[in-house]
Structure 1
């Protein structure tokens, strides 16, 4: 059972939905209003969620970056659009030099490559930066990027110029303490991570409108979208209820324990090293397509529950006609995805209640299909080029002489504590 504070009336409302589902076609008009209430329970942030924190998070937070200013946008995807529209005032600007200091997953190209043409080939609007892994003349570089996971005090530049920007780069969850961040006091100037409060934001993905439909419609708009007749039956041909692909059986989030509890109430096929089903990882996209054709739900469960940590486990499936089930205590899925486009297990009183609602949707194609209302109006952006926008913005920031000096006096607070990594209690 989730150790989550009960939202007033939640059990009554959910019980009403289950009864209403049985007489749906008789009470069609009345269910429209009820659906709006249920949707609120599933997608609106809970203010008093109880959880087990891995670290105390009441330390003073670092100030929001003056580079990206994510708080200045109505929707987070607008920041990535802003990155894609960066321009230089100079017709022929001098190249800035970026050094990739340590290895990142077996190479030093950091996803964009090495050379004077690397950022242009990566689709950067401001690409006049040369990337390199050559440590000679280190003081001549404008920025030095350090991969957190392979950072060590025993291998750092011996000389540092005043004009240089040292960049903290990580795509790993903050729950995995690969490196002690305490020695990083007053060391880094900028951060580049998946977190939206980074100086240079590099999320695993985001979702943006392709037209005039807002990412987060108001209640009146949602009623209109949800009651519009769908031209596609997303439930058609699906013979099974839920699937999960997983290779790492150890996690900070206790996702294995959650799935075992869920399997007491519904069938969940587990693929990979932690289950009995097989689908080759080298054919990852084929596996996703198979799941979307066969299953109603996919468990998009992260290995840890930290601020803004939403990976390809979610975005990869949002491309497909399958309903993701997530666990999110930080409301980050709600911020980056359309309303009523996924199920957040954290908003249910128990795993049994989650299972009952999945069973209800499995038996009701009309209400299941309403979770795909957004498909014609949005696009999921999680390509390598999308991910590289953070590196693109690094180049643009290096060309901006108006940016004020900045130094992170306490990376342990910003990265470890402000990530507020949490876990759930399964009973």
Structure 2
């Protein structure tokens, strides 16, 4: 081979070798920065430096109630490929969506973004409270593009809990029961329906009350403690469509109790769970009649066990971080979002 030809081949080899080294180094640098960016908010800029298309940037205007959690840590079932979450408000003008947690921004409009809004940026209204505890809804008029709440008709359905199907039929073991009924309540309002109902019920049934001004319930042992009860009173603080909270999903079902519910009508619960999984107070003419039924179940083990039949096919998944799960839903919703539109009145929709 001629020396010149051999020299050219050698030069090409070195050229492609160095090119490969540079590419590998660049990708490795991106990887290291991405590891760092999972706790910070630099990823969009990192990708831009190497000419990659910026991801869909989702800005959390606030952490709900100031409870911070790690971003971009979604479970695999929430495909967030192509999205990046941040809480850095300096990225507001680059954000494709801004998630506004209602209770953090509802006092005054000054709590909302004040910088001119970029064209086609979507504002997502996130709320997990019932209309009875959701003030100043009118402040959101003509501002919101997507809704996220426990309501099924939200653009982004973010329930307090749900059931999932087992891959195969299983034999569910009912936790050992040594006590009859429990109720945990933090907001003891003597004029509320649930407290008045209990005022009559206690004359006919022993119920252990936990919460402020009552028995102490250590949070780290809550499921284990509640699992020793046959019944748990999942009484909601207000009655609204689809408003079925952690009282039902976590305190009762996840802990292995039979829920006794006070909330929306039975038909509403049955949209989410089999009808033989719970007892509804509306099925009884009075608290005394309910008490008599629960006492009869306490004496009839076979009949009591029927409230666990559904568990051979379904289970209630534990949410280690409910806030994370809710926000993880935003990415897919943006990918599937309909044509850009603005909701004239959140209040009219949410209070219907």
Counterparts of 2:89 and 2:249 in 1: how far apart (Å)? 36
Alignment CA distance shift 1:120-1:336 (3 Å)? closer
Counterparts of 2:100 and 2:89 in 1: how far apart (Å)? 13
Counterparts of 1:398 and 1:231 in 2: how far apart (Å)? 40
Task: Report the counterpart of residue 140 of structure 2 in structure 1.
Answer: 184
1:325-355 CA-to-partner distances (Å, cap 9, x unmatched) read 0013343322111220110112211111111
After TM superposition, give the deviation of residue 298 of structure 1 in Å.
1.0
After TM superposition, give the deviation of residue 311 of structure 1 in Å.
1.6
After TM superposition, give the deviation of residue 121 of structure 1 in Å.
6.4
1:45-89 CA-to-partner distances (Å, cap 9, x unmatched) read xxxxxxxxxxxxxxxxxxxxxxxxxxxxxxxxxxxxxxxxxxxxx
SS at match of 1:168: strand
Higher share of residues assigned helix: 2
- Normalised by the length of structure 2, the TM-score is 0.75
Alignment CA distance shift 1:296-1:397 (3 Å)? closer
Task: Report the counterpart of residue 337 of structure 1 in structure 2.
Answer: 273
Counterparts of 2:237 and 2:313 in 1: how far apart (Å)? 30
Q: Which has the higher contact order (CA 8 A, sep 6+)?
A: 1
User: Are 2:123 and 2:143, in contact at CA under 8 Å, matched by a contact in 1?
Assistant: yes
After TM superposition, give the deviation of residue 364 of structure 1 in Å.
0.9
Q: Report which of the two structures shows the higher radius of gyration computed on alpha carbons.
A: 2
Greater CA deviation, 247-256 or 126-135? 247-256
Counterparts of 2:243 and 2:191 in 1: how far apart (Å)? 13
SS at match of 1:167: strand
After TM superposition, give the deviation of residue 210 of structure 1 in Å.
1.4
Task: Report the counterpart of residue 166 of structure 1 in structure 2.
Answer: 123
User: Are 1:120 and 1:127, in contact at CA under 8 Å, matched by a contact in 2?
Assistant: no
Structure 2 residue runs without a partner (length 5+): 1-51
Q: Please show how residues 6-405 of structure 1 align to structure 2 within 5 Å.
A: 94-107=54-67, 109=68, 111=69, 113-114=70-71, 118-120=72-74, 124-151=78-105, 152-157=108-113, 158-177=115-134, 179-211=135-167, 234=174, 238-250=177-189, 253-275=192-214, 277-280=215-218, 282-283=219-220, 286-293=221-228, 295-316=229-250, 317-330=252-265, 331-384=267-320, 388-400=324-336, 403-405=338-340
After TM superposition, give the deviation of residue 192 of structure 1 in Å.
1.0
After TM superposition, give the deviation of residue 163 of structure 1 in Å.
1.4
User: Are 1:195 and 1:203, in contact at CA under 8 Å, matched by a contact in 2?
Assistant: yes
Alignment CA distance shift 1:103-1:234 (3 Å)? closer
Counterparts of 1:233 and 1:378 in 2: how far apart (Å)? 13
1:78-132 CA-to-partner distances (Å, cap 9, x unmatched) read xxxxxxxxxxxxxx8741111111342124x5x5x34xxx145676312322222
After TM superposition, give the deviation of residue 133 of structure 1 in Å.
2.2
User: Are 1:203 and 1:387, in contact at CA under 8 Å, matched by a contact in 2?
Assistant: no
Alignment CA distance shift 1:143-1:233 (3 Å)? closer
Counterparts of 1:144 and 1:233 in 2: how far apart (Å)? 44
SS at match of 1:205: coil
User: Are 1:246 and 1:270, in contact at CA under 8 Å, matched by a contact in 2?
Assistant: yes
Task: Report the counterpart of residue 36 of structure 2 in structure 1.
Answer: none
Counterparts of 1:382 and 1:132 in 2: how far apart (Å)? 25
Counterparts of 2:61 and 2:330 in 1: how far apart (Å)? 15
Please report the RMSD computed on the Cα atoms of aligned residues, expressed in angstroms. 2.7
Counterparts of 1:238 and 1:385 in 2: how far apart (Å)? 28
